[in-house]
Amino acid sequence: MLATAIESIETIIVDLPTIRPHKLAMHTMQNQTLVLIRVRCADGIEGIGESTTIGGLAYGNESPDSIKTNIDCHFAPLLLGQDSSNVNAAMLRLERSIRGNTFAKSGIETALLDAQGKRLGLAVSELLGGRVRDALPVAWTLASGDTAKDIAEAEKMLDLRRHRIFKLKIGAGEVSRDLAHVIAIKKALGDRASVRVDVNQAWDESVAVRACRILGANGIDLIEQPISRNNRTGMVRLNAMSPAPIMADESIESVEDAFNLAREGAASIFALKIAKNGGPRAVLRTAAIAQAAGISLYGGTMLEGGIGTLASAHAFITLDRLAWDTELFGPLLLTEDILSEPLVYRDFELHVPHTPGLGLTLDEERLAFFRRDKTSTAIHPV
């Protein structure tokens, strides 16, 4: 067996409490569930990855339970005994046999990159081409639905120097009330902060035409996925008429989606998410398509914990231009974590470590407490 062969793969479902309910158009999160992936290699190196989605199956085609089952039953047999140091070959092996499942693939790719970085003494960002910055500005989502509470929360974040970019989750309520809510917050914050909205596909095109004009006229900087991802011609029309730029999020479920959206002119900003593209390397392919087409970039999140957040950050800090910054605030939404040291948020930015791999270590006691099954589930060669 190769010295760097994959010896075992373990998937662990971890349930962590959040600081408050987090409202989206299609779901309200009461806690966050992570799928932790541990890839152990014959040379003693262990790589850590994370696959996290939102709201079970409310958001997309994968859930924590399906991610775990598919990795255990379908991914692991393809990877056990393979060379963990050849990330490209390992991921191509998965691509040839497994369709979709980008969240699961992202967690596996992250674990392999973490292992190789530790093996070579390099940060994951260096494996991805090399960082061009050490920190990333981070947005905060105001999702209580209460205007006064959201304004107070934004003011607190500004005072703490933690965030000066705010995104509002709207679409679940009556449109006029949602618009009034957003406009009131923008008026309260003024030029001290950027205010954006995420509609999570909740509007039809006729509503979106009016709403986008009102939002743009009232200083809203960005409108994320206002209509269904399936209405691509509608996205093209909205992108042409909206005074505020339109960002594609749910519309991008693969690198191929990014190419088609760019070709059609359906959005002027792309949200980059490693989970929806299939990993840190895959999301950089989407970024390259956007840059070639003159489309701006935004570093998105699936509200991952520290592992998935750092995996995204290592990819994003290799990008020359990230005009709309990032929303890598997932760990800040949690009241508990499974890392020995928390991520560093300071002066409105997330600071990315230079240490080998992702630059984190697990707190084994906390992991044991929060894991759903309480027992080892490592898959070994037969």
| Residue 162 CB neighbour total at 10 angstroms | 17
Q: Of the listed 62, 153, 327, 349, which one is catalytic?
A: 327
Nearest to 331 by CA among 171, 138, 191: 138
- Dihedral angle sign, alpha carbons of residues 292, 167, 209, 234: positive
Structure tokens given for 147: 């205007």
Q: Are 94 and 108 in contact (CB under 8 A)?
A: yes
Nearest to 280 by CA among 260, 320, 258, 309: 309
Distance CA 350, CA 347 (A): 8
* CB-count burial class (<10 Å; 0-12, 13-18, 19+) for 192: exposed
Structure tokens given for 68: 């775990």
Distance CA 269, CA 145 (A): 25
Distance CA 88, CA 138 (A): 30
Q: Are 4 and 15 in contact (CB under 8 A)?
A: no
Structure tokens given for 163: 């965030």
Q: Are 56 and 103 in contact (CB under 8 A)?
A: no
**Residue 196 backbone phi and psi in degrees, to 5:** -130, 165
Does the active-site annotation cover 169? yes
Q: Of the listed 68, 105, 167, 169, which one is catalytic?
A: 169
Strands 6-23 and 28-41: what pairing?
antiparallel
Distance CA 65, CA 13 (A): 8
Distance CA 26, CA 345 (A): 29
DSSP 134: S
Nearest to 278 by CA among 126, 125, 48, 88: 88
> Which residue numbers are catalytic?
169, 327
